[in-house]
Amino acid sequence: MKLKLTSLLLLTALTGFLPGCKDGFEDINTNPNAPVDVQPSLLFRKVTFDYGEQMSYEAFVAGNLLGQYFTAIDFNLFDRHSLSEPQYGGNPWPFMYSNLRDNEIVLQKARANAAFGVYEGPALIMKAYIAAELTDLYGDVPYSEALQGKAGVVTPAYDSQESIYTAPGGILDNLDKGIASINNYKGITALDGDVIYGGNLSKWIKFANSLKIKSLMRISGKVNVQAALQKVVTEGNYIKTNADNAAYRFSLTQPNNFRMATARVGDFNLFIMSKTSEELLTGLSDPRIATYFRPTAAKPGTYKGLLNGPDASKLSISLADYSLTGTIFRENSDRLSANYMTAAETSFWLAEAAERKLVSVSTSAKALYEQGITQSFEYWGTALPATYLTSNKVAYGLNGQNPIEQILTQKWLTNINHGYEGWTEYRRTGFPRLKTISASLNNGLIPVRMPYPGTESALNSVQYKIAADKTQNNSINVPVWWAR
């Protein structure tokens, strides 16, 4: 007892010589070498490159499983449609929001300082682009209250997908505002840090208009979009050639390389041709098969795919019997681009719009369809056979074929490096006809939305529960608003 009392008196005496617990706290815990601000050019470069790189990786390891371009032969719970158990990929939520956050900083800087005004239009267009991909995957998501942590909003409400597309400050509104900002910009500051277009503002307007076509068509089953769509088509200022594609080419070496090109060979070889890809590409006698995949080692010159979602514990799979993914994803990955929007995709959107009589075009749906195919072959560096467009299964509407299915199939074929786009378009239209997978962990159903990540239920529990209740407890089988 005496020892404890002595110790207490000593501690009390020493306390008088110590500074207050708050004195100097911030100085001690602040890194003097860490940046406290960043130039818009550096942050815009980060957003445009990082988002494209991350989504290209996601395309390979997750999006192309849901879209049934590839099959995963092991570590493949995601391929078996247990989407709450992402493995190599399958959780794009964090990088989507981190890039939306950084893009918002660029946007705020552009509005606060006239010297940075050149960034406002492109930042609005990027905000619309990322928001569209985010809500297309998940449905309702935090949007209008998101990215406001500094203002004290740390548990943002979920906005409806309809409002994210159509409300003021939403996707379509931001595309219009982005175009207007670029047209109204009278400054002399260059758009530095632009890895997509090298600072060419006129091409950003074309990109925005192609995105408007895509966004309007995506919601066309729910909203009358004819007038807005016709206006964009009549003005004609959208992506029409591959020279105007919103994309950037990877390099063979770090730091600007395609991530799977330097992955361990064992990881790379987990992804092989799907049965869906095999049947579509061989059925069309499509030479892009040699760009996307490799012939089997067991039978050189032949291509073979495997039905998605195999149970690796019950199968003995020999890589030699199946087609691995192509050299463009590995040895020759400097031929690969990170895609935002291309001429081919724009042409296919317009072909569908014309076929559905949503727009009046100066050409025909057939001509736009053939234009999209031609642009796709050019984009992928594959020679277009002289007889391809007139062949039995490719010729537009030949032998009673469904032109809409033909358009969607060709768009699916060109988008193998475009994130989750193939799966998203299947959810909207039912084309191309994806297969019931081999060993489903989702009762044989093809998922129609991504599940909200576990971090939402932990960190934003009240708002998450409201959103989860609207989707039958965060079910992957509840379609998003625009779905068929």
pLDDT digits (tens, 9 = 90+) for 125-140: 999 999 999 999 999 9
Closest by CA position to 359, among listed 242, 209, 206, 216: 216
The owner of tokens 């890809």 is 277
> Cβ atoms within 10 A of the Cβ of 316, count?
5
Average confidence (pLDDT) over 18-44: 64
b/e for 66-81, b at 16 or more Cβ within 10 A? bbbbbbbbeebbbbbb
pLDDT in tens, 430-459: 999 999 999 999 999 999 999 999 999 999
For residue 444, the 8-state DSSP code is T
Q: Can you tell me the mean pLDDT for 204-218?
A: 98
Joined together, the tokens standing for residue 120 give 């406002």
Query: Burial of 343 by CB count in 10 Å (0-12 exposed, 13-18 middle, 19+ buried)?
Result: buried
Give the mean pLDDT of 334-342: 97
Question: CA end-to-end span of the chain, whole Å?
Answer: 78
Where do we find the tokens 């175009």?
179
> What pLDDT digit, counting tens, does each position of 157-190 carry?
999 999 999 999 999 999 999 999 999 999 999 9
Q: Is 341 helix (H, G, I), strand (E, B) or coil?
A: strand
**How distant, in Å, are the alpha carbons of 31, 92, 302, 373, 387 from that of 392?**
67, 39, 22, 15, 10
Return the closest-CA partner of residue 216 out of 208, 207, 225: 225
Q: What pLDDT, on the 0 to 100 scale, is given for residue 12?
A: 39
Alpha helices in 185-261 (DSSP H): 201-218, 226-235
Q: Distances from the Cα of 58 to the Cαs of 100, 136, 251, 416, in angstroms?
A: 17, 15, 18, 11
* Pick from 103-107, 288-292, 314-318: least confident: 314-318
Q: Are strands 337-341 and 246-249 parallel, antiparallel or unpaired?
A: antiparallel
Q: How far apart (Å, rounded) are the C-alpha atoms in residues 475 and 452? A: 9
User: pTM, whole model, 2 decimals?
Assistant: 0.92
**124: Cβ contacts below 8 Å, ≥ 6 apart:** 107, 174, 175, 177, 178, 181
Q: Residue 23 pLDDT > 90, yes or no?
A: no
User: What is the rounded distance in angstroms from the CA atom of residue 206 to the CA atom of residue 179?
Assistant: 9
Does a cis peptide bond (omega within 30 degrees of 0) precede residue 94? no
